[in-house]
């Protein structure tokens, strides 16, 4: 756990940049559509992060609705609070996905994107989703399957080692593969699972791929047997591919729609 990524103010700024790329803007639109929020709905964002989705949801539910958000990280709460400061329907609190600070049946909908992969006790977190939703309430959950990452790295051995060490940044590197039974056990019915690829067949500076390759390099550098030079060599090799015109990045995220029975 202590080796996981630190959601401090530098990470918050780096994530905000990545989450403003067209890839993630498009993902957010799909999440919002799947949530089907109505004017006046009460929705909870678990692991609200930089607050980009919370802001969009607040405009959707309007001033008769409610957008609550929790996060364990102060830097994230500061960023989301600043972004939504003029929206009185927002209520952000420090809290953990495994102990949501809300009453039973408080929400019409719940969303959590890129959060449960960091939460060790998924059974407890899923029970909390079911507890705070009204009967028939919708949950939209999105996480990444890191085993799906395909890169055009020349040194495949080094690339495998780098990505193995990157797996240390979270607790469930492939949560989507095992999420459905966890949700069903908690009393949620999984209605649909869709794949959202983060796909860059060419290098673009303002892309999810570019931002993540920088984050991966910074995280693995000097960690668990990957030296700073090796991390730099891995990154430089991929960037040389970008210059040659044979860059490739594809990573699959999965969006689950579930309802409380
Ligand atoms: C990768 S960010 C995603 C942020 C946001 N959901 C988004 O998609 O823009 C992960 C967030 O989950 C938060 N987080 C990690 N573990 C958590 C936990 N146990 N309970 C609540 N939030 C958590 C982090 O602080 C961070 O803000």
């802001």: which residue's tokens? 55
Tens digit of each residue's pLDDT, the chain (261 residues): 447 899 999 999 999 999 999 999 999 999 999 999 999 999 999 999 999 999 999 999 999 999 999 999 999 999 999 999 999 999 999 999 999 999 999 999 999 999 999 999 999 999 999 999 999 999 999 999 999 999 999 999 999 999 999 999 999 999 999 999 999 999 999 999 999 999 999 999 999 999 999 999 999 999 999 999 999 999 999 999 999 999 999 999 999 999 999
Question: What 3-state class would DSSP assign to 105?
Answer: coil
Which tokens go with 19? Answer: 């989450």
Cα dihedral 242, 212, 25, 173 in deg (nearest 10): 130
Q: State the CB neighbour count (10 A cutoff) for residue 246.
A: 13
Give, using CA atoms, the residue closest to atom 1 of ligand 1: 114
Cβ-contact 98, 42 below 8 angstroms: no
Exposed e or buried b per residue across 81-94, where buried means at least 16 C-beta atoms within 10 angstroms of its C-beta: eebbeebebbebee
Nearest atom of ligand 1 to the alpha carbon of 47: 22
- Predicted TM-score (pTM) of the model is 0.96
Which residue ranges have their beta carbon within 6 Å of ligand 1?
A: 7, 15, 19, 47, 49-50, 52-53, 70-73, 76, 96-97, 113-115, 118-119
Mind listing the domains of the chain with CATH numbers? 9-145+170-199+252-260 (3.40.50.150)
Query: Tokens standing for 180?
Result: 């459905």
């Amino acid at each position: 756990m202590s080796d996981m990524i630190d959601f401090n103010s530098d990470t918050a700024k780096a994530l905000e940049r990545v989450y403003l790329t067209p890839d993630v803007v498009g993902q957010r639109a799909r999440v919002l559509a799947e949530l089907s929020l109505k004017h006046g709905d009460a929705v909870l964002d678990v692991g609200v992060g930089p607050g980009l989705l919370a802001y969009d949801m607040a405009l959707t539910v309007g001033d008769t609705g409610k957008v609550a958000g929790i996060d364990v990280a102060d830097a994230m709460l500061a960023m989301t609070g600043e972004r939504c400061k003029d929206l009185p329907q927002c209520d952000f609190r420090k809290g953990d996905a495994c102990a949501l600070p809300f009453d039973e049946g408080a929400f019409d909908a719940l969303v959590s994107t890129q959060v449960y992969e960091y939460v060790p006790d998924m059974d407890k977190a899923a029970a909390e989703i079911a507890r705070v939703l009204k009967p028939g309430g919708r949950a939209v959950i999105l996480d990444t399957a890191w085993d799906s990452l395909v890169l055009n790295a020349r040194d495949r051995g080094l690339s495998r080692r780098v990505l193995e060490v990157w797996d240390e940044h979270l607790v469930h590197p492939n949560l989507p593969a095992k999420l459905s039974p966890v949700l069903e056990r908690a009393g949620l019915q999984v209605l649909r699972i869709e794949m959202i690829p983060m796909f860059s067949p060419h290098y673009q500076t303002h892309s999810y791929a570019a931002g993540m390759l920088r984050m991966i390099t910074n995280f693995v550098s000097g960690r668990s047997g990957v030296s700073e030079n090796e991390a730099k060599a891995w990154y430089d090799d991929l960037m040389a591919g970008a210059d040659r015109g044979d860059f490739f990045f594809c990573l699959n995220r999965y969006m689950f729609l579930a309802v409380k029975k």
